[in-house]
Structure 1
Amino acid sequence: MCTASVTVIDNIDPVLVCQDVTVEVGPDGTVMLDPLDAIDFDNTIEACGIEISAVSMDDFSCDDIGTPQEVTIFVSDPSGNLASCTTTVTVVDLLGPEVTCPADMTVDPGGDNLLYEVPDYFADGLASATDNCTDPVTVFAQDPAAGSFIGDGVYTVTLSAFDEYGNEGTCTFELTVESILGVQDSALDSGLVLYPNPANNQVILSNNTNILLDKAQMFDVNGKLVNTIDLTGMQGEKTIDISQLASGVYIVQIEAENASVVKRLIKE
């Protein structure tokens, strides 16, 4: 009777298969590759298991966007057998710029201005944008657009910024346009009513004050004068034909001898 010791050895290198991988840079503009993401385990062969021993490159940044990088991955099994494969790493940026809006604000058109001209919030330094890859950010948009004219009311302003890869970031704030009225203006404002509003073909102007009116001017949202109505000495009610106007929002400035008020009219 004799005994024998059997030593099992593994001297077969793993069969390592790589797959291409896409990685996304983070807010700091960098990303680390997890080598395991680049291994095709469905087609990799190794009975005893593998572990990563080295990677030719695993740290990427915005500078690598647009230029796929070849990366070699080295593995070993528990017996020290080695294998390697090469993968192509594509770096992308999917994060939009961070946009900072001004706080909600209330503005007065000022003086005898009928409408408020919307400023360019980015150009005026009231808004800003930063991006993980694009520095500086130079492509902006806003709604309502800079240079447009708006009447009294509350508006949601949307500011947008775009990086060089087309990613968009936005923020919003509330803009209140409120004309500061004098005593006579205030009395006229509270005593004048446009109805129905919205209206279709006709709108009625009701003057519930003892103030004699002069005229009314209607402007579209771009500040273009579209109609002038003679209201000389008007008290009571007057029916105004708006059938020729296109559907939309109109600003109506109603004037008396020593007062002026603005109303908003919606034409359906």
Structure 2
Amino acid sequence: MLEIVNDGAVRTLALDRPDARNALSLSLLKALRAALAEAVEDNVRCLVLTGRGRAFCAGADVMEWSEEVARGATDYDWVPQSHALIQEMAAFPAPTIALLNGAAVGGGLDLALACDFRFAADSAKFICSYTKVGYSPDLGGTWLMPRLIGIEAAKRFAFTGETWLAPEALRRGLITEMHGSDTLQTATYEFAKKLANGPTVAQRHTKRLMDSAGERTLEQQLEEELAAGRLCAQTEDHKEGLAAAVERRDPNFVGR
């Protein structure tokens, strides 16, 4: 259901329900949340999220969804888990990358949007599919997507349920990079290892500052930056970075 692979300071979480196109069942949602909590505890320095098989993630498990509808539910059982998952993914303290090997649909697309970066195969496709089943987005996409592609483009994408192929998604800014299927893994993990070898504490504060900047005025943001800088100044990586700059060499960051 969920495969966990470690490669140095990079950890990969692979959705492993290929027969169901990696749909988000309640049990998979719980497994993802547990894996994220473990990754935080283990101080993982870069997290990659991907899917096994031909799809990244098809969104909600329609079999479970149909059962909920049949019993007359309007507040679905998986919603508390899915909402918590999206928040925990977005707030993950280290850089996160969605490796999009195939289709990202509905909640699967939202899960990718909650990552910091999205590297996609040139054959991948993207669908904000909620309206196709007479439903509205419920996994954070209405908050995440407009921040990437703008409110008008996000509305059109969501209202119509149209399919964007990878080149269109790249042009629109929905994904970070596009690669052929034979180079996607290499490109993604080269970038992941570059991030994992960076100054982890500085990256963590930079991510938090950028993600929360809309909540503050410029003056307030400068105060937040000052506070973050004071914390970074106490790290080994800051001292190493300065020493490397003086000595005209590449820094050797250790993540603390």
Q: TM-score, normalised by structure 1?
A: 0.22
Q: TM-score, normalised by structure 2?
A: 0.23
